[in-house]
Structure 1
Amino acid sequence: MSGRPAAEHKSVKINVNTTIWDNGAKETFELTTFGRYYKKNGSAFLQYEEVMEEGTVKSIVKISKDETLILRSGAINMRLVFEANKKHPGRYETPFGTLGITTRTTSLAHRLFEQAGTLTISYDLHMQGSLAGKYQLEIKFEEEQK
């Protein structure tokens, strides 16, 4: 056991806004949910669940100084890495097999405070080598008022 105190988890309200541009068409998806926010080993973490047609998906967003990682598990299994002006391989597991995906991050910004924060990522998503769309992901959270 280490002598470090356990990370303090805060209950937060989370708003996830995703905008996708694909062949001139624009789609926007919005999710409002509740989850937890905490800091550990110099990184900030957001955890939340999303109920979809396929089932429940657990998401973990790890925000570090220069990189953000999004892990999704459950009905969908996905691993995405974002780092400004860099390409990163990822994976998207479906019941029919695993697809190779790549993110090319065009911008990555975050502002984190003790009770609230914003994460904005713009990226190109390539699936099996072809551009699947240009994405903008904005995640805002604030501590739940009790």
Structure 2
Amino acid sequence: MPVKIRVKTDVAHEGEKETFELSLFGRLFKKDGSTFLKYDEVQEEGVVHTIVKLAKENALILRSGALKMRMVFEQGQQLNGSYESQYGTLLVTTDTTSFEHDTNDAGTGHAQLTYRLLMQGDPVGTYTMNIQYELEEQL
């Protein structure tokens, strides 16, 4: 199902704050009680293919293409993932403080995720990610 997706990410690190916003079109599908959002992002390095899996208790973000990353989120858990850089594969750890996901049968939903990100054990920042999605209107 075609969906409109909005992703807003607030990053706090050492007293500095940054906000990144993304509005794009992608696809939504549901499987085994989880919602999957699939979309492509065009960046300087090339196209990044992203899959976001939103389950009841956890979330997963997989990125491939110009950027390869795997991050897993579960409230109250520190979970390991990976980030492939030109220097090799780096260990990425998410320490998720909150995760909520609400969706309805009409294909509209919202997820909020707050987590501390560590790369190779070093803190990178605290991230708050808001993901909103809705079915594209059939014209």
Same fold judged by TM-score > 0.5? yes
The residue number in structure 2 matching 1:82 is 73
Gaps of 5+ in 2: none
The residue number in structure 2 matching 1:5 is none
State the distance in 2 between where 1:137 and 1:87 align: 17
User: Displacement, 1:63?
Assistant: 1.1
Structure 1 stretches of 4+ moved >4 Å: none
Amino acid at match of 1:29: F
1:85 alignment partner, SS class: coil
The residue number in structure 1 matching 2:99 is 108
State the distance in 2 between where 1:87 and 1:140 align: 25
Residue of structure 2 aligned with 1:97, choices 88, 92, 98: 88
Q: Taking every aligned residue pair, what percent have the same amino acid on both sides?
A: 49
2:50 alignment partner, SS class: strand
Deviates more, 1:37-46 or 1:24-33: 37-46
The residue number in structure 2 matching 1:7 is none
The residue number in structure 1 matching 2:40 is 49
The residue number in structure 2 matching 1:37 is 28
Gaps of 5+ in 1: 1-9
Q: Does 1:144 align with 2:136?
A: yes
Amino acid at match of 1:14: I
Bigger Rg over Cα: 1
Amino acid at match of 1:116: T
Amino acid at match of 2:133: F
Amino acid at match of 2:131: I
Q: Does 1:128 align with 2:126?
A: no
User: Displacement, 1:108?
Assistant: 0.1
> How many residue pairs get matched?
137
Question: What do the CA deviations read for 1:83-115 (whole angstroms, capped 9, x no partner)?
Answer: 001000010001221111100000000111132
Amino acid at match of 1:136: T
